[in-house]
Structure 1
Amino acid sequence: MQLLLVDDEMSVVDTLAETIPWNSIGIETVHKAYSAFEALNLLNMHEIDIVITDVLMPEMDGLELTRSIYMHWKHIKCLLLTAHADFEYAHAAIKHNIQGYLLKPIDDHELILQISAVVQTIETERENKYNYNRAMATMRHHLPKIQAELLQSLLQGKRMPADKLEEQLKLLKIPVVQNQHVFIMLVRFKDHLIDYNAFEVSLMEFAIGNLAKETFQEYFETWYCRDAHEYLAFVLIPKPEQDYDEEQVTAERAQYHLNRLVNQFQINVQRYLNKPISVLSGHSGLFPNDMMKIYNNLLLLLSKRFGDDKELPVYIAGHGEMATITTLVSLYEPPLLVHLMEAGQWETSSSKLDAILHELETDWCESSEQLTEAFFSIFSSFSYIAHKQGRSLADLIGAEFVLGKELQPARTVKHLREWTTNVLDTFQRSAQNETRTARAAAVKEAQKFIISHLSADLSVQLISDVLNMHPTYLSRLYKLETGENISEYITRLKMEKAILLLKTSTKKIYEISIEIGYQNPHYFIKLFKKHFGSTPQEYRNMKL
């Protein structure tokens, strides 16, 4: 690090520069200036980290200098030297981001302490900046993948608070705002992707993504991912046009440009990559609420209009073809019920079921088909979790809850709610019982080891190593199950054994100390007295 000393008294600067062991506190180079203007020249010439300046100097004083430093070199840390122990100076120093305040005559020890603290601050800031830059570089490297993952979740119907979504869009540099009109375009490969390895598929996606960006860049921003059907799903975000301010006019203009450029995009992929693709696009919707609806419509149209035909290159869906998709959204939006149960998130699973049942009551109260769909989907999730545990659903929750007579749970939302509540509660109790059983077994294993090795120098780390557990987990588990810290249990057993030996043997105190695992008899005596209010010898004398 480099330091600059500034004072109009040459003797002060020269003495500090020559007598303080700067190298020992991390300062490699010391520069000297005898006025504020000379200091500014040196600041322009060298990469200074710390400035120590006198306050009272002619022409430009130290406070003016620090103001100028703060304006042009905000990273530089400044300390003030003054012979005036005046609050006004201290207040000004605080205002101008001064790191320290030293009175003349200068105490070398105090100066070294303050400079050492500033050096430590700078090193911490540099490390934090390095870690931040490294994290940002890693994120930039993986940015396309993270952007694609967010898009995949939105197309699948994942909901998130508006502020959280806005934060993610900003962090991931996705140029779209909520309630903005966007378009979705699906790209289907005519080749079977199974014939390509993962690297070749990624390379193909990257190349097609770049061609899409180049083709649409005058009028649209592009954002894409590969979906569960092996299609590329593009979100095309209209760029503002200066001549068209009204939202509806802008959406119509964007639709016009999209219809014109989709054909060109397909031709460009065929020409430059020699990869035949089919492209399907539709009308716009609002981001993010209409995303899943438009996407599902396009999937339906892709099946209807393209089918298995590999030769149809481009299809642009009209407004009339974009049907209203009537699906039970809460049932299929991530996270799925089966995944929540698999992770043991019982409260969230209950909330998921409440959302499904609420949607059934609100939007599908007259639809027996949607009710049956929900029942069998939930039943499938319950069955999967039971089978994963190596048990049948009937054995786990009781045969009366599995299907019942004539699919009674699927008759009404009320019946389905009662059935799901009973089954989920049974699953949760079963999981909690298994957890308690596993915890109790771990506690017993720990106690068994402690009892059999009471004469050893026992520690939580030693016991956790034997039981293949993390010591923090073992400590918390033991406390949760017994209400007692494991270290307290060890000490209590050792003290109980010490009492027994004092009563039934003639062994000396140091021998008893070693026998119960304390190599230092003085420590054992101190611990014994803390527990029983007397020393081991006093206790023995009382019992004689």
Structure 2
Amino acid sequence: MPLKERIKFIIVDDESRLRKGIERLILSNGEEWEIVGAYADGLECLQAINKDKLDFDVLFTDVKMPVMSGLELITRLNEQSKVYHSVIISGYDDFDYIQKAMREGTIDYLLKPVDRLELQKCLTRIKTLFKTDVDGIAMNAKNVSIELAKQWILEHLSENLTIERIANQVYMNATYFSEYFKRKTGETVLDYVTKKRMEKALYFLQTTTMKVYEIAEAIGYTDTKYFSKLFKKYYGRLPSQIRNHEMKD
């Protein structure tokens, strides 16, 4: 999709305040952006696009809305072979919706409440997309997949996490996903999992009265001794020593 003088946006969100806020933030980031429509639900947007033959480049849509969800809107537009890019706005508990949107070609996502800096980063990525070819678009989608994988890992630390299982969540080949994750983050997938588990364990030790074996189970370790050994390797102290230190303080 070649770069035009202005990149045309449609914004869809059932929260009027958020919808208008995103519109203001987009327009405040330069003259290359244009809002051609703003709607309260997916059906209203779809009807306007078809009735008025709206020409747009980017769709910003909330995932969960009454009447017609953002996911259904994207699916319906894709069925009509519309040429556009989509960015979804989501809550922290909407991973399944984000995952489905990725399958429909969504290039990025923003978490509520929408942060000004994150929106600016998103706009920068969109601008880049309009200056690159299909390979560049594919690369951006992979970067989004990595971020989605990280989010999914954080939500499932208590479970048995394998590279294959994580890769399946973002529809990537396990071997390629592992290599790409390492290239983009500088650490292996399993090193990232371990790091986040240790950080969660430290948080539990400092903020709860959970027993060490309960903490181990809560972050995916059935062997308490192995967990303690790994924790000491990570922080230089056993979990019990951290707990005793916190209690003394």
Structure number with bigger Rg = 1
Higher RCO (CA 8 Å, separation ≥ 6 residues): 2
**Normalising by the residue count of structure 2, what TM-score does the alignment of the two structures yield?**
0.45
